[in-house]
Structures are given as C-alpha cells and as structure tokens.
C-alpha cells in the first residue's frame, strides 16, 4: 500500500470500464485507494476483438500483478511481425519476440474481453457498476462529482474520465472537441485457424494500395484479422463475399482466414481521432486514454498509450506534493507525447495504404532493402515505446 497516496486520496471515481478505466482502478486499488468504476454498458460486448500490446505496456500490466497464468489467458506473445505487400511478398521481418525479451517482457496479441476480465477479477467485488452512463463531472475544492444519466450523483476526491473516444467527460474538462474522420473504414474478426499452425505467434501486416490488412495469432488456436479501405468504397465492403471479391489477388492467407470466418463475427469500424484538446484536467477531474487523445489504430498505439497514461498518473499521484501538482505533472509528461503519436497514426495511415501503385512500389522497395540493423532499430522503437 502507498501511504503517501492513500493519505491524500481516499476515493476515486472512474468513468468507463475499458482498458484505461480498469487499469487505473487496479493501479489505485493496489495502493490502498477506494475505487468506483461506472460503465455505461450492462454486460461485456459479445464479439471478441483484439489489439497488440508492446513490451513496455506488458511490463506495466505485470507490475499491476498480471502474472504468467493471467497472460496466458489474455493473449499470446508475438514472435515475428512480417510486413508483406498486397500479393503476399515479404518486404520486412521484425524480430519482435527477441527484442521484447531483451527489454524484459514479451509483446502480446491481446483478446480485449479477456484482458478486461483478467483486470476486473483482481478488483474487489462491486468495484465496477455496469449500466450507469456518466454524463458530466464537476469539481469543487478538494472534491469532484460525477453526474449520471438517471440524475443521480457520486462524489470522491478525484474523478478520472476514461470514457473513450466518444467521451462525455471531455466536454466537462475542456469544452467542445473535434472528432476527425480519417477517411477510412474497416472491419475485423477473430476466427479459428486450426488448419494453419504456421501462423502461431505471427503478426502479418499487409500493406496494400488504398487499404491494408492484418492477421495475428491471439492464442488458443484463434487469429484476429482486419481490413481497411477508403470510405467511398464502403458500400462494396459490407458482406463477406464482397470483402473476398474486392481483395482477389491479395495474400492467399488473408483470403483463407476471411473465408473461414462466419459472417456474423465480422465487425465493421469507422476510424476517427481527435484534434488536440486544450487541457486534460479541471480541478479534481482528469482525462486519460482515448478520452484525452484518441488516435486511429494505424499506429497500433492507443491502448499502449492508455496503459502508459495510468502508470504515469499513478506515479505522479504518489510523488508530487499535492494532488493538483500531480495532475499538472501528469499532463506535462503525457500531452505532447501522445499528440505526437496521434500525428504518427495519420502518417502511418498514409504510408501503409498508399494510393498510387508507383508510390506503393517505392515504399515496398525501401522496406525490402532496409538494412537488418535499421529493421531492428524500428522494432526496438515499437516494443519500447521510445
Ligand atoms: C479496430 C481497432 C483496432 C485497434 N488496435 C489497436 C492496437 O493494435 N494497439 C493499440 O494499442 N490500440 C489499438 N486500438 C485502440 C485502443 O482500442 C484504444 O486506444 C483503447 O481501447 C483506449 O482505451 P480507453 O479505456 O481510453 O477507451 P475504451 O477502451 O474505448 O473504453 C472506454 C469505456 O468507457 C465506456 N463508456 C463510454 N462512454 C461512457 C459513459 N458516458 N459513461 C460510462 N461509461 C462509458 C465504454 O463503454 C468503454 O467500456 C484499436 C482500436 C480499434 C477501434
């Protein structure tokens, strides 16, 4: 227990039981703080989705007490990330496993609902209250109050807005914000792949012309895959047959996994980010994760940044002399860094989905001839978050 923290903060209220809300709840609970999490949905979402967590974020989860047995259920370590061109030709191979282990923890492909369940299972029963929509928050003196859709309220020493990209609490902290359409749509699914043992511990990124795709082993004989395309093509990408027909000539592995997926398991997505907001905090209210800095998934960093936010916020609450200075130090440490990643998401969207055949060919040649040392450097940057 951290006496420094629990002496100054008794109760924290958190809006949202996603990656950020639950990780923050566990981090504060481990330090002796009473936590209440309010989640607008009544139950876990039925469909499984997944994402990549790099070594540095996994280290943070391990520090919170997610040990090898929990990690085994939430996902699987990534050994190799291959970048392929549209037709399936290898253009770069990244030694994710080797580099991640040198950094101290494997990078993982994660099943989102399993991760959330694993974190929640370490919290005292009743911490997460479901079916409660937070509409706004107010700060007064050393307290902050969360207001719910049914008109009721709760008060604590600190309110954390972890209510995701469509955050209601963002407006309570920094006024109106702009959700920016990336111009891309996409879909994803998790499916069985019992016939493809050779995909074990692989993540394959396929950079196409005007769109991209990915396939990754998430453990337990299942893989996740995704596709992206320009918004104007959306009408032609609605059914599995349409997806297959639009991607004829792409990497045969991709077509095989799409074919093996029941249509009802395919989820469709719109990709947005938010323009930088003026501030992440007002009095005793603070934002983190997508509520503060939502990015498109093209840099595969949103959940990683969210977990890092929680670690830095907790460290500052422990170390800074006052809660207010801790929140200021947290914002100072994270705001510019995450804004840079939001921009990186936009650059990655352009780089990985180039529209001109010639530009795509040049890009592929550049990666194909990248010296091994450079590939390792890029891998290290991704896995370490530096
Ligand atoms: C298709 C896709 C692929 C992605 N791939 C990656 C990847 O590979 N790597 C990576 O790092 N990131 C990835 N991301 C981004 C990542 O999912 C997010 O950045 C991350 O989930 C943010 O965590 P969060 O807790 O801030 O928000 P969320 O995980 O969205 O959680 C917000 C929670 O708040 C709840 N909520 C919302 N409004 C309210 C309200 N008013 N009151 C109460 N509760 C509320 C929501 O129901 C949800 O449970 C991807 C995202 C998408 C869409």
| CA-nearest residue, atom 31 of ligand 1 | 18
Residue 357 alpha carbon to ligand 1 centre in Å: 34
Residue 208 alpha carbon to ligand 1 centre in Å: 26
| CA-nearest residue, atom 51 of ligand 1 | 297
Choose among 82, 88, 49: nearest CA to 205: 82
Ligand 1, atom nearest to 226 Cα = 1
Sequence-ordered alpha helix ranges (H) in 94-239 = 96-103, 112-120, 169-174
Question: What pLDDT, on the 0 to 100 scale, is given for residue 386?
Answer: 84
Residue 325 alpha carbon to ligand 1 centre in Å: 27
Question: What pLDDT, on the 0 to 100 scale, is given for residue 299?
Answer: 77
Ligand 1, atom nearest to 169 Cα = 41
Choose among 45, 32, 191: nearest CA to 116: 45
Burial 167-187 (b: 16+ CB within 10 A, else e): bbbbebbbeebeeeebebbbb
Residue 311 lies in a domain: yes
Residue 296 alpha carbon to ligand 1 centre in Å: 11
| CA-nearest residue, atom 49 of ligand 1 | 18
Residue 19 alpha carbon to ligand 1 centre in Å: 6
Ligand 1, atom nearest to 269 Cα = 1
Looking up residue 307, the CATH number of its domain turns out to be 3.50.50.60
Alpha carbon distance 106, 59 (integer Å):
8
Ligand 1, atom nearest to 271 Cα = 53
Residue 189 lies in a domain: no
Ligand 1, atom nearest to 17 Cα = 49
For 83, the 3-state DSSP assignment is strand
Residue 70 lies in a domain: no
Q: Which helix (H) or strand (E) holds 51?
A: strand 50-53
Radius of gyration of the chain (CA): 21
Residue 340 lies in a domain: yes
For 70, the 3-state DSSP assignment is helix
Question: What pLDDT, on the 0 to 100 scale, is given for residue 348?
Answer: 75
- Of 228, 290, 296, 338, best ligand 1 pocket probe by most atoms within 8 Å of the beta carbon: 290
DSSP strands (E only) in 193-289: 202-207, 212-219, 222-230, 267-274, 281-282, 285-287
Per-position pLDDT tens, the chain of length 386: 566 788 889 999 999 999 999 999 999 999 999 999 999 999 876 677 899 999 999 999 999 999 988 999 999 999 999 999 999 999 999 999 999 999 999 999 999 999 999 999 999 999 999 999 999 999 999 999 999 999 999 999 999 999 999 999 999 999 989 899 989 999 999 998 766 778 899 999 999 888 899 999 999 989 999 999 999 988 999 999 999 999 999 999 999 999 999 999 999 999 999 999 999 999 999 999 999 999 888 877 899 999 999 999 999 999 998 999 999 999 999 999 898 888 877 777 777 766 777 777 777 777 777 888 888 888 999 899 88
Count the helix, strand and coil residues of the chain and give each as a percent rounded to the nearest 5.
45, 30, 30
Question: What pLDDT, on the 0 to 100 scale, is given for residue 98?
Answer: 96
Residue 365 alpha carbon to ligand 1 centre in Å: 35
- Of 47, 51, 287, best ligand 1 pocket probe by most atoms within 8 Å of the beta carbon: 51
Question: What pLDDT, on the 0 to 100 scale, is given for residue 46?
Answer: 67
- Of 13, 14, 19, 345, best ligand 1 pocket probe by most atoms within 8 Å of the beta carbon: 19
Alpha carbon distance 158, 147 (integer Å):
13
Ligand 1, atom nearest to 21 Cα = 25
Residue 277 lies in a domain: yes
Residues of the domain holding 122: 3-46+112-177+273-349
* Residues at CB less than 6 angstroms from ligand 1: 15-21, 38-41, 51-52, 133-134, 162-164, 166, 168, 188, 269, 289-291, 297, 300-304, 306
Residue 194 lies in a domain: no
Tally of structural domains, the chain = 1
Question: What pLDDT, on the 0 to 100 scale, is given for residue 300?
Answer: 77
Name the pTM for this structure: 0.94
Q: How far apart are the first and last CA of the chain?
A: 30
Contact yes or no for 44/165 (Cβ under 8 A): no
Residue 344 lies in a domain: yes
| CA-nearest residue, atom 17 of ligand 1 | 303
Residue 107 lies in a domain: no
């Amino acid at each position: 227990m951290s006496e420094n923290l629990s002496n100054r903060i008794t109760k924290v209220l958190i809006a949202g039981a996603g990656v950020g809300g639950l990780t923050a709840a566990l981090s504060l609970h481990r330090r002796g703080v009473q936590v209440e999490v309010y989640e607008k949905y009544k139950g876990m979402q039925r469909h499984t989705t997944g994402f990549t967590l790099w070594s540095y974020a996994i280290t943070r989860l391990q520090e919170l007490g997610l040990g090898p047995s929990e990690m085994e259920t939430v996902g699987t370590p990534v050994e190799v990330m291959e970048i392929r061109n549209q037709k399936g030709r290898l253009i770069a191979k990244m030694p994710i496993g080797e580099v991640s282990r040198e950094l101290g923890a494997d990078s993982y492909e994660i099943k989102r609902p399993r991760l959330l369940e694993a974190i929640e299972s370490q919290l005292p029963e009743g911490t997460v209250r479901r079916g409660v929509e937070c509409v706004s928050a107010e700060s007064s003196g050393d307290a902050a109050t969360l207001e719910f859709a049914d008109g009721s309220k709760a008060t604590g020493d600190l309110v954390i807005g972890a209510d995701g990209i469509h955050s209601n609490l963002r407006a309570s902290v920094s006024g109106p914000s702009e959700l920016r359409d990336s111009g891309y749509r996409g879909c994803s699914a998790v499916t069985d792949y019992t016939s493809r043992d050779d995909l074990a511990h692989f993540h394959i990124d396929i950079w196409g012309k005007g769109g991209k795709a990915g396939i990754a082993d998430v453990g337990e004989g299942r893989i996740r895959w995704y596709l992206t395309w320009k918004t104007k093509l959306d009408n032609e990408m609605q059914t599995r047959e349409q997806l297959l027909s639009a991607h004829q000539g792409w990497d045969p592995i991709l077509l095989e996994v799409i074919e093996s997926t029941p249509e009802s398991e395919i989820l469709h997505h719109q990709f947005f980010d938010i323009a930088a907001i003026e501030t992440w905090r007002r009095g005793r209210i603070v934002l983190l994760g997508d509520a503060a800095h939502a990015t498109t998934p093209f840099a595969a960093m949103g959940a990683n940044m969210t977990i890092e936010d929680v670690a830095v916020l907790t460290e500052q609450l422990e170390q800074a002399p006052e809660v207010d200075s801790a929140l200021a130090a947290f914002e100072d440490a994270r705001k510019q860094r995450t804004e840079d990643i939001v921009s990186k998401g936009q650059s990655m969207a352009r780089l990985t989905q180039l529209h001109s055949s010639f530009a795509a060919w040049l890009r592929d040649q550049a990666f194909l001839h990248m010296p091994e040392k450079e590939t390792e450097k890029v891998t290290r940057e991704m896995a370490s978050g530096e």
